Structure 1
Amino acid sequence: MNDSPGWASPGSDPSDREQGANPQPAQPDRPDSKWSAEQPPPGQWSNPGTGQTPPPAPPQPGAGWGGYGKQPGGPPYAPGGWGKPPAAKPGVIPLRPLGLGEILDGAVTTMRTHWRSVLPLTLAVAVVIQLISLSLQRTVLSDFLVTPDENATPDELLDSLGGSLVVSLTDSFIQLVGSVIVTALLTMIFSKAVLGQASSIREAWHGARPQLPKLAGLALLLTLGALAIAAVLMLPGVAAGSVGLLVFGLIVALGLIAWLWTKFALASPALMLERAGIAQSLRRSSKLVGGSWWRIFGISVLTNIITGFVAGLIVAVFTFIGGLVSSDGLSGVLDGRGVDSWPFLIISGIGTVIALTIVLPMQAGVTVLLYIDQRIRREALDLELARAAGVENYGGNQGGTPGSTPPPAGS
C-alpha cells in the first residue's frame, strides 16, 4: 500500500522506511551527518532560533487531493498541487460533466452572446407557431370554445372544461413541435458556442438544411405518438361518459407521454450533430438518457417552470393590453366573451410571439447542453471538443470520465 502514489507522507524518503532494519552509516565527509549525543525527547520540536530547522508542517486540509494546490495564503490551483486542475473552458461551458447551474448558465450565455443568430431563427419559428395556433382557434377549434353562463348545467360545464382542455393541449403540442424544430436549428449555434466560436444564421441554416426532412419526420412522429397515446387512454372515459374515467385516462396518458418525451428528448440534437436517421436518433437518445432519466426529467421540468414563469408574465401584460382595446373590455375577456375578437387575438398573439422568442432558445439550449453533457459522461466527448477547440495538453482525466471510451467516428 505504501508504494501507491499519495499514501506516503509528503517529503519523506522511501529509504527512511528501511532505517530500522538496515541503518546506513554516517558519511565521513559530512560533519553534520553525525547525530548529537543529546537529542530532544521524542515528540518535541526545537525552539525557533536555536540553529535547528524545524521539520515542515503537515499539509493543511484542502491542500490534498480535494483542493488542487490550494496552499494557505497562496494562489488557488498553484502548480505542484495534488488535485485535478480546472477543466478547460474554451466556450460557454467547461469541458467536463456539467451541473444544473452550468447548464442553465451556458444556455443563457449563448443567448446573450450570440443573440444576432439565435433570436431571428427563434422569432421566425415563433411567428409560424402563433399563426398556426390562431388559425386553428378561429376554424377547427372554434366549436370547442364554449362559455357557460351562470345557470349552466353540469353537462355544459363539462363541455366547457373539455373544450378548453382540447384547445390548451393543441397549443401545447404545437409549441412542443416548435421546440423540437428550434432545438434542431439552434443545435449548430450552441455546438459552436461550446467551442468558443460564433455561428451566423447562414452557417446554421447550411448545417441544418440537409437534415430538415428527417427533422420534420421526427417532429411529426413524436406529435402523432403523443396524440395517439392520449386518444387511446382517454377513449374509454369518453365512450362511457364518465368524468372520473376520463380524468384517470388523461393522467395516465400525461405520465406516459412525459416518460417517452424525456426518453427521446435528446433525439433532435443527435439527429442534427450525428447526421443520424429518425430511428437511429431515437435509439441514440434512449441510450444516452438511460440511467439518467430522473436527472434529465428534473432539469427539463425546472427549465420549463422558469421559462413558463417568464412567458406567463409577458403574455399577461399583452393580455391586459388586449383586454383594454377589445370592444368588450376587460370584463369581456374575464367572462370569455372577448377572447375571440380580432384585436384581442392580435395583441395577445404578439405577446405570445415575444414570449416564445425568449423562452424557446432557453429550452433548446438546455436540451443541447444535456446532450453534450451525457456524451461527456458516457463517451469522453470532452476530448473531442478540446481537440476541436484547439486546447493544448488536454489530458484524458482532466475533465472527462475515467475509463470512458472515445465517441464513435464521425459523430
Structure 2
Amino acid sequence: MTNGWTSPSGDDGRAPTPQYGQPGPPQWGPGAPPYPGGFAPPMSPKPGVIPLRPLTLSDIFEGSIATIRGNPGATIGFALILGLIVTVPVAAAMVVVAQIPTTSQGVGVGLTVLVAYGGKFIWAFGDLLLTGMLMVVLSEAVLGRRMAIGAAWARFRPRFWALIGLTLLITLAVALSILLLVLLIVLIYATLGSTAAIIVGVLAGIGWFLTLAFSFIRLSLAAPALVLERIGPIPACKRSWALSRHQFWRILGISLLAAVVVGFIGGILSAVITFGTEAIAMTATSGTAVLTTTLLVSTVAGTLISALTAPFQAHVTGLLYLDQRIRKEALDVTLIAAADPKASVSR
C-alpha cells in the first residue's frame, strides 16, 4: 500500500487491496445516511488533526494549524512554489514596463500598477489551485500521517490538469460575467444616456457582486471534491453545490473569519516589510522608478507572506469539505475504518 490516502479505485478502475495489518483507504463515493438527528456518538476518535465527527469552528482552525505544523515542507513548500510561478512573471513584467519609454510619466505609472494588480488577480485564482494541491496533505493528516512534498506531488499529479481545468472554468465564468456587465452598461449608455447608464451600472454592479460572492461560496468545495473524489471540473462544481446546500451561511462565516485571521497576520508581516521597502525606494531617481521598486519589493514580499498564510485558508476550505461529507454522508465512519480497520461505529 502506498503511503497516502488513495481514492476508491486505482488508475485501472480496480479497488486497491491494502496489505495485511494495514488500514484500507476510505471510499470517496456517496456515504451512509447521517446520524439520526445529526448527532455523533460520544468519544469520537481523533487519529490525526481533527476528531472524526461533525466539526466545530475550533476543530477546523486547530486542524488547519496542526496540518501545517506537521507538514511544513509539503504545505508551505507548495504555496511557495505556486507563489514563485505567479510572482516571477509579474516581477519581470514590472521591470520591462519600467524600461518602456513613454511621453508621459503617468502612462508608465498606470502600466506598472496594472501589472501589479493583474498579479494579485491571478493570485486570487491561484488560491483555488493551492486548495486542491494541499488536499492530498490534509487527507493524510486527518488519519495522523505525514507527507513529504515529493510524495504529496506524486499523489496530486494525476489531478493537476483537471484542477487547472476547474480554475480556468471558474476564471472564464467570472470574465464572461464581467463582459456581460460592461456590455449592458454600454448598451444602456448608447440608448438611454449617461444618467441611466450610471444608475443601471450601480444596481447591476451590486447584483453582480452579490451573485459572484454567493456562487464562490457554493463552489468553494469544488477543488477538494475534484482532487479526492477523482471527478471532472463540471461534476466537481455540481458536487460542491450539493454539499453546500443549506450550509451557505456556515461556510461563508467560517471562510470570512479565516480570511480575517490570514489578513491580520499578513498585515503585521507587511507592515514590517514596508519599512525596508520605503528605504529601498528612496534610492530611486524618478517617480516611476520609485513606484516600480516599491511594487516589485512588495510583490516578492507578498509571495513570501502568502506562502506562510495561504495554506491555513486552503486547509480551512478542505476541512469544511470534510465536515459537510461527515454531516451529510457519514464520512467519519469510513475515515475511522481507514485509520483503524478493527474499529466500528454503529449508526
Could you tell me the TM-score, scaled by structure 1's length?
A: 0.65
Please list the CA deviations of residues 91-129 of structure 1 after superposition, one character each: whole Å capped at 9, or x if unmatched.
000000001111011001111121122111111011122
Please list the CA deviations of residues 150-192 of structure 1 after superposition, one character each: whole Å capped at 9, or x if unmatched.
xxxxxxxxxx8xx97x778644431222111111111110000
Q: Which residue of 2 aligns with 1:182?
A: 130
Query: Would you say 1:118 and 2:75 are equivalent positions?
Result: yes
Mapped partners of 1:139, 1:96: distance in 2:
53
Instruction: Name the SS for the 1:224 alignment partner.
Output: helix
Determine which of 303, 314, 322 is the counterpart of 1:372. 322
Please list the CA deviations of residues 266-285 of structure 1 after superposition, one character each: whole Å capped at 9, or x if unmatched.
11111110110111111111
Which structure 2 residues correspond to residues 221-300 of structure 1 after superposition, within 5 A? Answer: 221-237=169-185, 240=189, 245-300=200-255
* Structure 1 residue identity aligned to 2:173: G
Q: Which residue of 1 aligns with 2:280?
A: 325
Instruction: Name the SS for the 2:295 alignment partner.
Output: helix
* Structure 2 residue identity aligned to 1:115: P
Q: Which residue of 1 aligns with 2:141?
A: 193
User: Which has a greater percent of helix?
Assistant: 2
Q: Which residue of 2 aligns with 1:303?
A: 258
* Structure 1 residue identity aligned to 2:291: D
CA contact (8 A) 1:321 1:347 kept: no
CA contact (8 A) 2:132 2:224 kept: yes
CA contact (8 A) 2:50 2:60 kept: yes
| Inter-CA distance 352–278: structure 2 relative to 1 (3 Å threshold) | same
CA contact (8 A) 1:230 1:254 kept: no
Identity among equivalent pairs (%):
33
Mapped partners of 1:247, 1:167: distance in 2:
26
Kindly state the Cα deviation for residue 243 of structure 1 after the two structures are TM-superposed. Answer: 5.2
Instruction: Name the SS for the 1:340 alignment partner.
Output: helix
- Decide which moves more: 376-385 or 298-307: 298-307
- Decide which moves more: 302-311 or 356-365: 302-311
Which structure 2 residues correspond to residues 11-410 of structure 1 after superposition, within 5 A? Answer: 84-135=41-92, 170-237=118-185, 240=189, 245-327=200-282, 340-342=291-293, 344-390=294-340, 392-397=342-347
In structure 1, list runs of 5 or more residues that go unmatched.
1-82, 149-159, 398-411
Please list the CA deviations of residues 280-308 of structure 1 after superposition, one character each: whole Å capped at 9, or x if unmatched.
11111111011111111111111112112
Mapped partners of 1:99, 1:177: distance in 2:
27
Instruction: Name the SS for the 2:45 alignment partner.
Output: coil
Mapped partners of 2:132, 2:229: distance in 1:
12
| Root-mean-square deviation (Å) | 3.2
Alignment coverage as a number of residue pairs: 297
In structure 2, list runs of 5 or more residues that go unmatched.
1-39
Instruction: Name the SS for the 2:129 alignment partner.
Output: helix
* Structure 2 residue identity aligned to 1:125: L
| Inter-CA distance 132–396: structure 2 relative to 1 (3 Å threshold) | farther
CA contact (8 A) 1:288 1:374 kept: yes
- Decide which moves more: 252-261 or 102-111: 252-261
* Structure 2 residue identity aligned to 1:217: G
Instruction: Name the SS for the 1:341 alignment partner.
Output: helix
CA contact (8 A) 2:48 2:144 kept: yes
The one of the two structures with greater contact order (alpha-carbon pairs below 8 A, sep at least 6) is 2
| Inter-CA distance 140–382: structure 2 relative to 1 (3 Å threshold) | farther
